[in-house]
Every structure is written in structure tokens, then in C-alpha cells.
Structure 1
Amino acid sequence: MNKLRVLSGGATQGLVKNLAPAFTAATGLRIEGEFGAVGAMAEKLRKGTAADVIILTSALVATLAAEKLVSSASVRDIGLVETALAVRAGDPLVAAKDAASLREALRAADAIFVPDTKASTAGIHVAKVLEQLGIAREVEKRLRIFPNGATAMRHLAESDARRPIGCTQSTEIIATDAVALSGSLPPGCALATLYTAAVTTRTLAAPAAEGLIDLLTAAQAGEARARAGFVPSRSM
């Protein structure tokens, strides 16, 4: 075996990529990661996709632990990730200090780039916020929905729309070239999601899997987590 297989939400892709060289140097194993909407990744694990480590929302990891698909003893929190706004690099930043200004920012956009509104953490939240703001039907035809936030942000970067905007998790925005983090969602519309790692019960590489989780959660990796967009949770 020369690889460690990871199934993960897109929110942690940048962090895993940044720490992969240190993991490979220490273990000789390369990381083979699949990143996407958390609901889709959980279903892949349930359907038998080979994985040694999963990194998903805390709630989903708890469910998978109850289903005996991950080891409860291995569960470790990585940090919180905020859902945020994005614009193309060079475009004016969009500020949303309250629900009213967020409503106007979304109504002013001629294209709104978001992840899967049924399977991804940020996408599900965006759909709820649009309903909450009373503009879901108004902006429906302007939504540009992609399988995950990273893909949505790449398409935002390439958009030829006049005033496009994106909304996904801050880590996915930070990790994408040619887009800029424009700010968190305002109070009443905000979401901070706790991401958690665990070793799968089917792995044949438990020590290496535990080593990767140690690296992702180590105090020494605090700066890397912050650069990637993670915020420490109260339990950390």
C-alpha cells in the first residue's frame, strides 16, 4: 500500500492539500482524496467506496459512527468553517452587514454561484437563506448550481456575467484562484459548520489514518488551519 484514501467534504480540500507533503514525508504514503458535497461523500462510504479517513460535518460523522462505519474512538474535530460570500478577483467586494443588505446584494447579482442545494452544507443553507429573505423565486433563474463549492467557485472565476456573486464555505473560496472572500453572512443568516475527521472501520491502514488526523488537528497546524479558513471550535 502506497496511499491513504480520504473521503471529505470540499471545505477541507485546501487544508489537506497543504499538509499532504508533510504527511508523505513522514509516512511515505501519498494522499488520494475525493472531495465533494458532504451528503454525497457519506453515501459513497455507505455504498462501499474504499476509504481510510473521512472528513465531514460533525453531525454526519456522528451518524456514521452510530452506523458503525467509522470508529467512535478516532473522532476528532478540525475546526469551524463559515459560509461566506465571494466575488471575482478584482470585482468590488460585497458587504452584507444585515439581512436587508444581503437581500439587496443577491438581488443585484445577475449570476449566483452556489454548491449543490440538496447535498452540500453550504448549498442547503443558501437555499434556506433565500427562502428566509423572501427572494428564492425571484433569483431562481440566476442560480448557477454545481456539485460542490470548489467547482462553483472555479466557474465564478471564469464567469462573464456583469455582476456575479458566489456563496459557499470560506475555505473553498480561499482555496480557489481568481476569486476573493467578500465576507461572512450577516447575523441571522450566518452558518459556521464544525468539520470532524474519523478513521473508517473498514480501513487496513488505521495507524496511518490516525496519523493523518493527528496532523490535521495538531496545535502546530493551527496556522495552516487559519490560513485555510478554519476557526477553532470552543471544544478545541
Structure 2
Amino acid sequence: MGEPVRVLSTLALKGAISTLAGQYVAAGGARIDADFAPTLALLERLRAGEAADVVILTREGLNEVVREGRVTAASCVDLARSYVGLAVRAGEPHPDISSEPALRAALLGARAVAYSRLGASGILFAKLIERMGIASEINARAVVIPQGFTAERLVAGEADLAVQQISELKQVGGIEVIGPIPHQLQTPAVFSAGRMAASQNAEQSERLLRYLASAEVAPALRASGLEP
């Protein structure tokens, strides 16, 4: 099987990678040693010199480390598309978020909204509520976490609504995903992978990248809330 492949991945792929790791080993691939964090946090770690074989970031983040010479451009593959959604604690009513007026009412009606400061979803949400003219009202009682899973704040009773990539919301038990923010209000994030230029495990890294980009993994991506 060879040496384990060290993977640094955005949180959005945690569910899919966790599911696929065992299947990959069973198919003869190397063990996946994965660590998960928001793209911005991973970029800081990579620039501080942290070693890895494969990185999975937003396409924009991956492009940055390609330009910096940290990731080989020829190895890069797009894996999945992801939408930002909202969730409530299990058993709670699902507010209507199907249109901009409905979403506005749902957000303003919540006791508190949880979102992430570093994640792509949090950046999108912060811009969205600013554009909608409700940023001051929402942020006055928001639960803004530095990183991690916002839906955990629902389970803890700290918020009524959690905002994050749907694939990240689905990582937390005891919650229910309402659905995506209306598609016309967001641009889906594209998550992409590439091999680190300094990787000492190039052959296994390239094999893993081919596997993650194959049709074989599409069902696991969909089940985790992503679109292949």
C-alpha cells in the first residue's frame, strides 16, 4: 500500500473523505492521514511550512498556492461543488428560506444565527447580510465562531439557525438541514485538490487524486451534501 498520504482538507470534504478512506484502502490504496480546517486556516499553515502530500481547498485557495509554487498545477482537479445552507436543531420548525424576503424574515426572526468567521460560507454570509441591509441586526446577536462546525451551536442551545456549507452542517448530529440559501443569492464554492510540490510520496498522492476525481466517489460526495 505504501506510505500514508498526508491530506490537508477543507472541512466541507470531511464527511466524504471519512467515508471514502476505508473504501480506498480496501481497493489497494494507501492509508489517508487527513486533517481538516477552513481553507483560510489551511493556507496560513501551508505558508508557515506545514508539510502535506495532498491539499483540498476552495478553487481560489488552491490557485493561490499553485501561484506560490507550493502545489503542482498539472495535478489539480476539481472535486465538488457546494452550496451554503441553513439548519435548525432537530425537531424545531423549518422556517421558509426559499426567497430573499423569506430568508430575511427567517434571519431577523431568529434569536441568534451561528456562522463561521474563517470559512467560505461565513465570508459569503457576512457579505450577504450586508447587502441585504440587516448586518447590524444579525451581528448584534450572532454567534460567530473562529472555525469549526456552526451547527454545534444549535445543539448547545446557543443559536436558532446555523449557516455553513451543507456538507459541513450534515457532520453534526441532532440538527436538521432546512436547505440551501436561494441559489440566486450565492455562488457555489468549488472544492479542488492538488499535490504538494514538496511531497515525498508523489506516486500515491497522484493515485489518490485520480480516485477522488473519479465517478466512483460521486455517491459519497452526494451523500455528504456535495455535488460532484
TM-score range, shorter chain: over 0.9
Indicate the residue corresponding to 2:70 in structure 1: 69
After superposition, where does 1:151-190 map in structure 2 within 5 Å? 151-159=149-157, 164-190=160-186
- Matches of 2:177 and 2:109 in 1, distance apart? 18
1:118-176 deviation digits (Å, cap 9, x = unpaired): x320010110011011111112132112233x422222222255xx0011001001222
1:57-89 deviation digits (Å, cap 9, x = unpaired): 111111211111001111001010001111111
1:29-65 deviation digits (Å, cap 9, x = unpaired): 4322221111110111111111111000111111211
Q: Tell me, what secondary structure is at the counterpart of 1:49?
A: coil
After superposition, where does 1:94-173 map in structure 2 within 5 Å? 94-116=95-117, 119-148=118-147, 150-159=148-157, 164-173=160-169
After superposition, where does 1:21-40 map in structure 2 within 5 Å? 21-27=22-28, 29-40=30-41
Deviation at 1:13, TM superposition (A): 0.6
Indicate the residue corresponding to 2:46 in structure 1: 45
Ranges of 4+ aligned residues in structure 1 off by more than 4 Å: none
Structure 2: any 5+ residue segments left out of the alignment?
A: none
1:8-39 deviation digits (Å, cap 9, x = unpaired): 11111111101011223345743222211111
Change (3 A) 1:187 1:218: closer
- Matches of 2:96 and 2:205 in 1, distance apart? 40
**In 2, are the aligned partners of 1:37 and 1:147 still within 8 Å (CA)?**
no
TM-score, normalised by the number of residues in structure 1: 0.90
- Matches of 1:160 and 1:72 in 2, distance apart? 43
Change (3 A) 1:26 1:220: closer
The range that moved more, 28-37 or 11-20, is 28-37
- Matches of 1:6 and 1:147 in 2, distance apart? 22
Structure 1: any 5+ residue segments left out of the alignment?
A: none
Indicate the residue corresponding to 2:224 in structure 1: 228
- Matches of 2:9 and 2:60 in 1, distance apart? 14
Indicate the residue corresponding to 2:5 in structure 1: 4
1:200-220 deviation digits (Å, cap 9, x = unpaired): 011111111122222222111
TM-score, normalised by the number of residues in structure 2: 0.93
Count of matched residue pairs: 227
Q: RMSD between aligned alpha carbons?
A: 1.7
